[in-house]
Structure 1
Amino acid sequence: MITIVSHDAGGAEILSNYVLQNKNDYQFVLDGPAVSIFSKLLGEINIKSLKETIGNTSLYLTGTSWQSEIEKLTILTAKNNHIRVVSFIDHWVNYKERFIYKDQLVLPDEIWVGDEDALELAKSIFPPEIVKLKSNPYFESLKSYFRNWKSKNLSDDRFNILFICENISDHAKKSFNDERYWGYTETDAIEYFFQNLEKLNIKSGKYTFRPHPSDEKGKYDWVKDKYREYPIQISKKIPLFEQIANSDLVVGCESMALIVASLANKRVVSCIPPEGKKLGLPQSKIIELRSL
């Protein structure tokens, strides 16, 4: 029996597609955004507590989260009960912080990554022998989806801009007790984007802001109020990959969604301001606004 443990959206997308593509006996310890992501892809799921799974699992397969400690607790539980545990990293940033629990580094038996860039980075931070390159099941699913996609908005001739929002300040506050730890916040990034539209040759278009799963409702209403001259909507009612497929330009800071957009052959821009941290995504796939 394999036990899947997931909370945050990025890891949930990978692990739910892993389950879909790899037939086996599974049980699930899910919370937060992962619940709806798994249910949408796999149907109704019987969710268990971590404690319920200890006596009947041969492997724990986890994501990594900043919103929750469940994956770190799973690693500790697995180690204490001599059960193999593997974590699939879904991103390219903050690797070490993903495994810090109460100021201690808590590592699984193996760390899986989904591309060569992540492999090189992970091996520079963790013991190289525990880092393994695996096919990213979420990306494989998306590649197939985008190949077969037929836009539902072919009659809409406006230039469509999708802004992927990220909960940067909350993440920094929780991890480092400083919402400006990385030199900027999500508000700074949005304002920097609007201040530099001419660098992207955007003269008119339709703007859609997609909130992060951890964002409170109404968090980005200020954008519509401040930039009234632009046709802005705030929406995450349709799946992310549909929003990306229907967009001409995808903008964000360093969300995994920017890599997803590059898989769809979209123009992708990071709007981390000049005072912000170095872009952590594979840079060959992303245009940096501050470098234009």
Structure 2
Amino acid sequence: MITIVSHDAGGAEILSNYVLQNKDDYQFVLEGPAVPIFSKLLGEIKIKTLEDTIRNTNLYLTGTSWQSEIEKLAILTAKKSHIKVVSFIDHWVNYKERFFFKDQLVLPDEIWVGDEDAYQLAKSIFPLDIVKLKSNPYFESLKSYFKNLKPGIPSSEGFNILFICENISDHAKKSFNDERYWGYTETDAIEYFFKNLEKLNIASGNYTFRPHPSDENGKYDWILDKYPNYPIQISNQVPLFEQIAKSDLVVGCESMALIVASLANKKVVSCIPPEGKTLGLPQSKIIELRSL
């Protein structure tokens, strides 16, 4: 029996698609954003506690989260019970921080990554023998989806801009006790984007801001008040890949969704302000607004 342990959205997208593509006996320890992601893809799921899974598990397969400690607890539980544990990293930034629990580095038996860039990065940080290169099941699913898109799905109602919001300040606050640890916040990035629209040659367009799963309701209502002359909507009620498919331009900071958009051959822009951190995404297709 394989036990899937997941909380944050990025890892949940990968692991839910892994389950869909790899038939086996599974049980699930899910919390937070992972619950609706798994349910939408796999249907009704019985969710168990970590303690309930110990006696009948021969492998734990986890994501990595900044919002929750559940994956780290799964690693500790597996190690204590002599059960193999594997963690699939879903991004290209903050690798070592993903495995700190109460100031101690807690590593699984194997770390899986889904592309060559992530593989080289992980090998430079972790013991070589535990890092494994695997196909990314989420990206494989998306490639298939975008490949089979019929012409005409993009909207004919004008130029459509999708802004992928990220909970940068909360992440930095929880991880480093400083919401400006990376030199900027999500608010800074959004304001920087609007101040530099001319660099992107956007004369007019429709703007959709997609909140992060960890964002509180109403967090981005200030955008509607500050920029009343722009046609703006705030929505994450439809799947990410559908919003991307209907967009002409996808903007964010360093969300995995920017990589998804590049897979869909969309124009992709990172709007990390000049005072912010170095862009952690490796894909060359992503344009940095501050470099224009």
Confirm or deny: 8 A CA contact 1:189 1:272 kept in the other structure: yes
Query: Normalized against structure 2, the TM-score is what?
Result: 0.99
Q: 1:2 corresponds to which letter in structure 2? A: I
**Deviations for 1:9-59, whole angstroms, at most 9, x for unmatched residues?**
000000000000000000000000000000000000010000000010000
Q: 2:270 corresponds to which letter in structure 1? A: S
User: Cα 1:154–1:11, aligned 2, differ >3 Å: closer, same or farther?
Assistant: closer
Q: 1:56 corresponds to which letter in structure 2? A: N
Q: 1:107 corresponds to which letter in structure 2? A: L
| Deviation of 1:150 (Å) | 3.0
Q: Percent identity?
A: 86
CA distance in 1 between partners of 2:154 and 2:288 (Å): 29
Query: Normalized against structure 1, the TM-score is what?
Result: 0.99
CA distance in 2 between partners of 1:75 and 1:155 (Å): 45
| Deviation of 1:229 (Å) | 1.1
**Deviations for 1:176-207, whole angstroms, at most 9, x for unmatched residues?**
00000000000000000000001100000000
User: Cα 1:153–1:133, aligned 2, differ >3 Å: closer, same or farther?
Assistant: closer
Confirm or deny: 8 A CA contact 1:62 1:86 kept in the other structure: yes
Confirm or deny: 8 A CA contact 1:4 1:61 kept in the other structure: yes
Partner of 1:146: 146
CA distance in 2 between partners of 1:106 and 1:203 (Å): 50
Partner of 1:202: 202
Partner of 2:282: 282
Q: 1:141 corresponds to which letter in structure 2? A: S
Partner of 1:233: 233
Confirm or deny: 8 A CA contact 1:151 1:245 kept in the other structure: no
SS at 2:124 equivalent: helix
Q: 2:272 corresponds to which letter in structure 1? A: I
SS at 2:173 equivalent: helix
CA distance in 2 between partners of 1:121 and 1:155 (Å): 38
| Deviation of 1:82 (Å) | 0.3
Partner of 1:110: 110
CA distance in 2 between partners of 1:153 and 1:159 (Å): 13
Confirm or deny: 8 A CA contact 2:114 2:133 kept in the other structure: yes
Partner of 1:246: 246
Confirm or deny: 8 A CA contact 2:60 2:83 kept in the other structure: yes
Confirm or deny: 8 A CA contact 1:151 1:246 kept in the other structure: no
| Deviation of 1:157 (Å) | 3.6
Confirm or deny: 8 A CA contact 1:163 1:250 kept in the other structure: yes
SS at 1:208 equivalent: strand
Matched, 1:269 2:238: no
Partner of 2:46: 46
Partner of 1:119: 119
Q: 1:81 corresponds to which letter in structure 2? A: S
CA distance in 1 between partners of 2:221 and 2:157 (Å): 26
| Deviation of 1:129 (Å) | 1.1
CA distance in 2 between partners of 1:67 and 1:205 (Å): 34
Q: 2:138 corresponds to which letter in structure 1? A: Y
Partner of 1:10: 10
Partner of 1:72: 72
CA distance in 2 between partners of 1:58 and 1:277 (Å): 40
| Deviation of 1:283 (Å) | 4.0
| Deviation of 1:152 (Å) | 6.6
Higher mean alpha-carbon deviation, 148-157 vs 242-251, is at 148-157
CA distance in 2 between partners of 1:17 and 1:91 (Å): 16
Q: 1:54 corresponds to which letter in structure 2? A: I
Partner of 1:255: 255
Matched, 1:169 2:169: yes
Unaligned residue ranges in structure 2 (runs of 5+): none
Confirm or deny: 8 A CA contact 2:153 2:245 kept in the other structure: no
CA distance in 2 between partners of 1:46 and 1:217 (Å): 27
User: Cα 1:270–1:155, aligned 2, differ >3 Å: closer, same or farther?
Assistant: closer
